[in-house]
Amino acid sequence: MIQGLLRWLDDRTGCQAFLREALYEHVPGGSRWRYVWGSTLVFAFVVQTITGLILWAAYSPSSNSAWESVYYIQNEMQGGFWLRGIHHFMAQAMVVLLALHLVQVVWDGAYKAPREVNLWLGLILMQIVLGLSLTGYLLPWDQKGYWATRVATNLMGLVPFVGKSLQDVVVGGKEYGHHTVTRFFALHAGILPALLVFFLVMHIAVFRRHGICAKQPIKRPDQTFWPDQVLKDGVACLAVLAVVLGLNWYFNGADLGAPADGAREYFARPEWYFLYLFQFLKLFEGMGETGELLGAIVIPGAVMGFLFLMPFVGRVRVGHYFNVAFLICVLFGVGVLTFLARWEDQHNVAYQNAVWEGEQNAKLAKKLATYGIPPEGMKLALRNNARALALRTLTETCLRCHTYVDENGHGWNLVETPPEKVGDRPSGGPSAPNLYNFGRRAWVEGLLNKEKIAGDHYFGRTPIKNRDGGMVKYITGTPEDPGFSATYKPEDIPKIAAALAAEGGFQTEDKEPIAAGRALLQNSSGCAMCHEFHGDGSLIGTAPNLTGWGSREWIAGMISNPSHQNYYGHLSANEQTMPAFSASARSANKVPLHPEVIKALAEWLRGEW
């Protein structure tokens, strides 16, 4: 019955012959693992098509809804984390697989006559895949994609004669906006995939015409594609998929930065597989327009052009070995440049700070998005948001003097620039305490540590360091006057820290050390020589008031006016380095901070959002 049906269908379509043609391809010398790369690429493309279509079903291409819809896919939709993750990491896997496929083809000499055209078709396919990567990078419309695309499209503008027009057409105008997204989306989801299918069909057709380029000499009996090679291909595809899923798990999903904002600078970096081009451009410093043309267009174009000419080079004696050596050198150069780009960034404090700032902004945008995104989009919603303004104040003002660095050195660092001339003083560097963990036990324990208080993380760069009778001299002590260690034992420090952390509401358990610490803080031959702590108020104005230390109100008050009696009012004018930020205390020609922003800053420092 079923056989009859199949025969009926086959009579009218010829599907059996087609299937046989597809499956019983002749594989001289039998199946081999080195033949799997083409199949894995087809597999990757199929995966991209499937995941991409479903992403499309939820994506909204416009400058005020692209980020928003991607946020929604990633964080709200069922399985969106994995769907976008597979699409994101499979795209990267595809680039790696392309490189492997190319190496295998060149190594095995599979580009030589009569397979020249197939090499060219493959190289065109490579360009299309790289185009898909480039366009896909922008679609989330986050800071990373936006700024990288600005660079990429400006490079397009360098093309002689038609560059400017080309740039305008791709960008959809002079400025980046709705039409940049719609055009990139049309390229990414329509035009480029259609071209890819067109060239892929030809690539496979030509491949089948010439058959597999078997590894010589043939030692094993021939086989057919089905089932031996199909099994190997299947295993390879499964391995690729496993790696992709593993990457998504390891990196905790595809990244989504803060929404794109052209008025908010960002350290543009391309996706990792374009980093070598990025680094290559840096080599042409001081050469102006010519250098750029060379680095961005002429030399990469010449390398690509040479790959197209490989079949002809391969005809002459040792030509094949030259081709292989050339490809290996190119890949080695790519590797070195990629490594250099990474290495430079890892040692670039400003870049690391910007990355940290970007993370903070992205975190805030995602947090605010959970309350619902207004119709005008997240960028504008962030614009006047007190928390967003607080983050901006933090990096533009607070972190000019303060640092914010965790135990691993991650965060916002300030480094000293060595003096240019003899006699100059070094510039930059921190001049105020590290704000990381402020108000918590660890911060206090470091403050009360005689090794640390005069260091860069505390008061080592402030005028207070040298103040007679001040905190730094009290903690470090001298042989004549041991200071802190005369009154307190080392085991008292955790108790004092617990009691102070409790003031800010951080340390609510462990009642015992808190109570003990409170008593220690009120010791009138110790802390309570200077600091007020739940006392009668007689010590206000001799040192910062520790009552409520580290609470939101305490920090907000400190930011508002550090010269207030509750804080550092006892210091002389030239010892008071931190300016006031509230409207009432700020000097006349400086813009004060809105109370909501000060409150948001205090909350951020306390890790409340």
Partner 1 sequence: MAEKPSSPAKRDAPGAPRPPDGSQRRDFLTRLGAIVVGAVAGLVPLGAAAFTFFDPLRKKPPEKLPPEWIAVAAANQVPDDGFPRRFEVVADLWDQWTFIPQQPIGAVFLIRNKGESKPTAFNVTCPHLGCAVVLAPDQRSFKCPCHNSAFDLQGVTTPDSPSPRAMDELETRISQNGQIEVKYENYYAGIKDKLAKR
Return the residue of 39, 48, 51, 63 that touches partner 1, per CB under 8 A: 63
Nearest to 501 by CA among 601, 606, 604: 606
* Integer Cα distance of 315 and 112 in angstroms: 8
Interface of this chain with partner 1, residues 247 to 286, rule: CB under 8 A: 261-269, 278, 281-282, 284-286
168 binds partner 1 (CB under 8 A): yes
177 binds partner 1 (CB under 8 A): yes
Phi, psi torsion values for 56, nearest 5 degrees: -55, -40
With respect to partner 1, which residue has the nearer C-beta, 145 or 253?
A: 145
* Integer Cα distance of 558 and 237 in angstroms: 59
- For the chain, the C-alpha Rg in angstroms (whole number) is 32
Long-range contacts of 513-518 (CB under 8 A, 24+ apart): 516/492, 517/492
With respect to partner 1, which residue has the nearer C-beta, 171 or 448?
A: 171
Q: Which of these segments, 203-211, 212-220, 503-511, 529-537, binds partner 1 (CB under 8 A)?
A: 203-211
427 binds partner 1 (CB under 8 A): yes
* Integer Cα distance of 550 and 604 in angstroms: 12
Interface of this chain with partner 1, residues 550 to 609, rule: CB under 8 A: 589, 591
Burial of residue 1 (CB within 10 Å: 0-12, 13-18, 19+) is: exposed
511 binds partner 1 (CB under 8 A): no
Q: Which of these segments, 69-77, 202-210, 477-485, 508-516, binds partner 1 (CB under 8 A)?
A: 202-210
* Integer Cα distance of 188 and 140 in angstroms: 12
With respect to partner 1, which residue has the nearer C-beta, 254 or 399?
A: 399
* Integer Cα distance of 458 and 133 in angstroms: 46
User: What is the closest distance, in whole angstroms, from the C-beta atom of residue 335 to partner 1 in the complex?
Assistant: 20
Q: At what angle do helices 230-250 and 80-107 cross, to 10 degrees?
A: 130
Total of residues contacting partner 1 (CB under 8 A) = 64
Give the position of tokens 């403050």. Answer: 447
Q: Which of these segments, 321-329, 409-417, 526-534, 551-559, binds partner 1 (CB under 8 A)?
A: 409-417
309 binds partner 1 (CB under 8 A): no
Return the residue of 42, 299, 340, 380 that touches partner 1, per CB under 8 A: 380
Q: Which of these segments, 52-60, 132-140, 156-164, 535-543, binds partner 1 (CB under 8 A)?
A: 156-164
208 binds partner 1 (CB under 8 A): yes
With respect to partner 1, which residue has the nearer C-beta, 151 or 516?
A: 151
Question: What burial letters (b/e) apply to 275-295, b meaning 16+ CB within 10 Å?
Answer: bbbbbbbeebeeeeeeebbbb
Burial of residue 331 (CB within 10 Å: 0-12, 13-18, 19+) is: middle
175 binds partner 1 (CB under 8 A): yes
Q: How many residues does the chain have?
A: 609
* Integer Cα distance of 473 and 451 in angstroms: 12
Task: Identify the three-state secondary structure at position 443.
Answer: helix
User: What is the closest distance, in whole angstroms, from the C-beta atom of residue 9 to partner 1 in the complex?
Assistant: 17
Interface of this chain with partner 1, residues 328 to 357, rule: CB under 8 A: 349-351, 354
On whether the CB atoms of residues 437 and 604 are closer than 8 A, the answer is: no
289 binds partner 1 (CB under 8 A): yes
Where along the sequence are the contacts to partner 1 (CB under 8 A)?
17, 21, 63-64, 147, 150-151, 154-155, 157-158, 164-165, 167-169, 171-175, 177-179, 201, 204-205, 208-209, 261-269, 278, 281-282, 284-289, 291-292, 349-351, 354, 376, 380, 383, 414-415, 417, 420, 427-428, 589, 591
